[in-house]
A and B are shown apart, each in its own frame.
Chain A
């Protein structure tokens, strides 16, 4: 983990809490809730593993020479992409996993990053409507 351990733990904690919340919502409101819960858990856990793998990739990539770092990061991305593809195929083929829940689980961590690190800053919204000349 190294330099990014704090940020990873923070994001993963929020992710797990939200997954739990989504599972409770599925239990209360949806027909056949277990399919949704399986989807959330399956997609969510793979999303977390992908995120941890991404962090490890980035930590290693900055220690490599520039040309090697490019190839290393791109090759690791395609490994993660393949894993995501396998997860999605399994959830589309299996009747007991809801595919939409898997997709939500996979992309949830990205939304958490956006909400906790970009949209939490009021200055961000001000900068959207600010002209470059005013800076």
Chain B
């Protein structure tokens, strides 16, 4: 059997790590969808508060996206600019 090189091992582990990191990108999507649904429900119940609801939801959703971007950065760095390869 051919021996596994350190580089191959790092690349394989990085690919798995990138896949795991991308799981974090799903959370904000679910959260934003949930918030939008509740916002729609709130506007339906109290239409005069629409502006306040949208404003609060916008700021919350924008901040919630940050963690998804961090996860994306980690995953893409592991795939396209892996710093661990240079350590070999």
Please classify the interface of chain B as helix (H, G, I), strand (E, B), loop, or mixed, using the class held by over half of its residues.
Answer: helix
Which of B30, B32, B43 interacts with A62 by CB under 8 Å? B43
How far, in Å, is A48 (CB) from chain B's closest CB? 11
Q: Max chain A CB contacts within 10 Å: which of B33, B42, B50, B51?
A: B33
Is A103 a contact partner of B29 (Cβ separation < 8 A)? no
Interface size on B, as a range, is 35 or more
Is A92 a contact partner of B33 (Cβ separation < 8 A)? no
Identify which of residues 46-83 in chain A touch chain B, using a CB-to-CB cut-off of 8 Å: 50-51, 54-55, 57-59, 61-67, 69-74, 77-78, 80-81
Interface size on A, as a range, is 35 or more
Point out the residues of chain A lying under 8 angstroms from B38, CB to CB. 66
How far, in Å, is A80 (CB) from chain B's closest CB? 7
Is A66 a contact partner of B37 (Cβ separation < 8 A)? yes
> Given that A65-B40, A110-B66, A114-B63 are known contacts, is A93 also in contact with B80, CB under 8 Å in the complex?
yes
A residues near B (Cβ < 8 Å) are: 2-4, 7, 50-51, 54-55, 57-59, 61-67, 69-74, 77-78, 80-81, 84-85, 88-89, 92-93, 99, 103, 106-107, 109-110, 113-114, 117
Provide a sorted-by-A list of 19 A–B residue pairs whose CB atoms are within 8 angstroms.
A3-B51, A3-B54, A4-B54, A4-B55, A7-B58, A55-B58, A59-B54, A62-B42, A62-B57, A66-B37, A66-B41, A69-B36, A73-B32, A77-B65, A81-B29, A93-B80, A107-B70, A110-B62, A113-B59
